[in-house]
Chain A
Amino acid sequence: MTIKRKDNRKADEMRPFTAKVGVIPNAQGSAMWQQGGTIVIAAVYGPKEMHPRNQRNPKTGQLRCNYTLGSFSVEERARPGRNRRAMELDKIIEWALNPVVDLSEFPNQVVDVHIHIVQADAGTRCAGINAAAMALAHAGIPMNDIVSSVAAGKLDTELVLDIDKDEEHYPDGEGSTDIPITMTSSGKITHIQLDGKISAEQLKEVVLMAKKANKQIYEVQKKALKDCLENK
């Protein structure tokens, strides 16, 4: 049985996505990522002095992410300000990006990554990671690779890619399971989350599916970074 998706997408088809680098002139590096109805901008400031001082690390620099969901980004106004979800996502995005950045040259310093969700239609953490990876590269931070992220998942028992807001509330059978996966361009996983139920075989299949999707995302990120000097 194949599921009919709302926008006639195939199971392993993502929503159309675009990227742009250098959207915020005042930031050291910045990028925009749009995937269907999800629009995210990321800005990188630093490396700069770490404040508060007690969090300094004299051995290496640190990455600090800041995820904000615009109050206007969802259908019903979201209450602005820090909340449990935003703080959790800060940490998750930080962990997803940390394996590829190398801040050993910047002891006692911090790199601030601000991720702002302008329009939310599910998959915001993945879009945020995609934008942040481009922004970090654009800021000239030493990195050994670039990460790409995609929200794979399962609707009832069918594996699908890039679940959107409507599909998140899939009513039938086992319902909807969301599995965001972040990978480097060489296919190493830096982040995987799972809430819901899935069999071991299907999880393996999902990872392979995400690997293929991340390759496409990486090509778009690469092109956006290479093109950002053209229009100057």
Chain B
Amino acid sequence: MTEENKRQIVIPGEVLAEGDESLPGEGTEKKDGKITALRFGLLEERNNLVKVIPLAGVYQPRVKNIVIGTVSMLTGNGWVIDIGVSDNGFIPLSEVPRYVNKNALEEVLDIGDTVVGEIFSINKRGIDMTIKGRGLGRVDGGLIIEVNPNKVPRVIGKEGSMIKLIKDNANCNISVGQNGKILINGDKTEDELLARKAILFVVEKSFMSGLTDEVEKFFAEEKN
């Protein structure tokens, strides 16, 4: 790695900027006219906004996130989903795009099933999810891999450029859960394994800039 495409690593309490020109963004705090980091991560400065991109930490659920989880319990009015955080996800009966027999919830989703869902509300009681929508619902095969949730934005890329590149080159359908679980679905097992290799490559090289070009090179090498 050259000096140029390396980003600065900051630690909590480190002074990132002084004076009134800069604004404190995510992962930072303004105190006594100084902007200090609140987390361990990479420094990013854009349009006078200083923020810290975290390198570690558990996934924090947000509304509109797509997540992949497993059904852990059936209740009278929906399914309890384990999405890998301390709060459970919940899919109410009304958020299923088809008729559900109340006495046979397991016909739609059974305990142990993997499901792709979207979070539509987060409150004190828990995380409410829906499977109404394109690409959501029960998973019927494919390969699931787990990556560090903080690397998910890099796997997706700017406006989905990275994931599109991987999808096109590996001929796979890929659903990325914001909680770090990624579902790969391809016609051939080799395609799925290639997609997995590419994603792990992105995760490993995630703090490099110009990564899209590197991934293109990676695919060119893999295909030879």
The interface of chain A, by Cβ under 8 A from chain B, is 28-29, 46-49, 100, 102, 105-106, 108-109, 137-146, 184-186, 221-222, 225-226, 229, 232
Contacts and interface: CB of A to CB of B under 8 A. Distances in A.
B86 A137 contact: no
Contacts of B27: 142
A28 B207 contact: no
B38 A222 contact: no
A222 B14 CA distance: 9
B38 A225 contact: no
Nearest to A102: B38
A138 B204 CA distance: 17
B40 A145 contact: no
B122 interface: no
Interface stretch (B50-58, B106-114, B128-136, B209-217): B50-58
Given A142-B39, A143-B13, 5 more contacts: A102-B38, A139-B56, A140-B57, A144-B13, A184-B13
B41 interface: yes
Contacts of A138: 40, 56
A139 B12 CA distance: 11
How many B residues touch the partner, as a band?
Answer: 20 to 34
A217 B219 CA distance: 45
B178 interface: no
Given A29-B56, A140-B150, A225 B86 contact: no
Given A138-B40, A140-B41, A144-B36, A225 B11 contact: yes
Contacts of B101: none
Contacts of B39: 137, 140-143
A162 to B, nearest CB: 23
A29 B40 CA distance: 11
Interface of B: 9, 11-14, 27, 29, 36, 38-41, 54-58, 60, 86, 150, 204, 207
A221 B13 CA distance: 12
A48 B56 contact: no
Contacts of A221: 11
Contact of A142 (B38, B55, B86): B38
A215 to B, nearest CB: 13
Given A28-B56, A139-B57, A140-B40, A100 B12 contact: yes
Nearest to B11: A225
A105 B60 contact: yes
Residue from B9, B11, B60, B86 having most chain A Cβ neighbours under 10 A:
B11
B58 A145 contact: no
Nearest to A48: B86
B86 A145 contact: no
B113 to A, nearest CB: 22
Contact of B55 (A46, A109, A145, A229): A229
Nearest to A47: B58
Contacts of B11: 137, 146, 221-222, 225-226
A144 B12 contact: yes
Contacts of A185: 13
B82 to A, nearest CB: 11
Contacts of A140: 39-41, 54-58, 150
Contacts of A222: 11, 14
B56 A144 contact: no
A225 B40 contact: yes
Nearest to A225: B11
Contact of B57 (A48, A141, A184): A141
Nearest to A232: B204
Given A28-B58, A140-B40, A229 B9 contact: yes
A137 B56 CA distance: 9
A47 B40 contact: no
B12 A146 contact: yes
B25 to A, nearest CB: 14
A144 to B, nearest CB: 6
A145 B13 contact: yes
A120 to B, nearest CB: 28
Contacts of A142: 12, 27, 38-39
Interface centre among B39, B41, B55, B204 (most CB of A within 10 A): B39
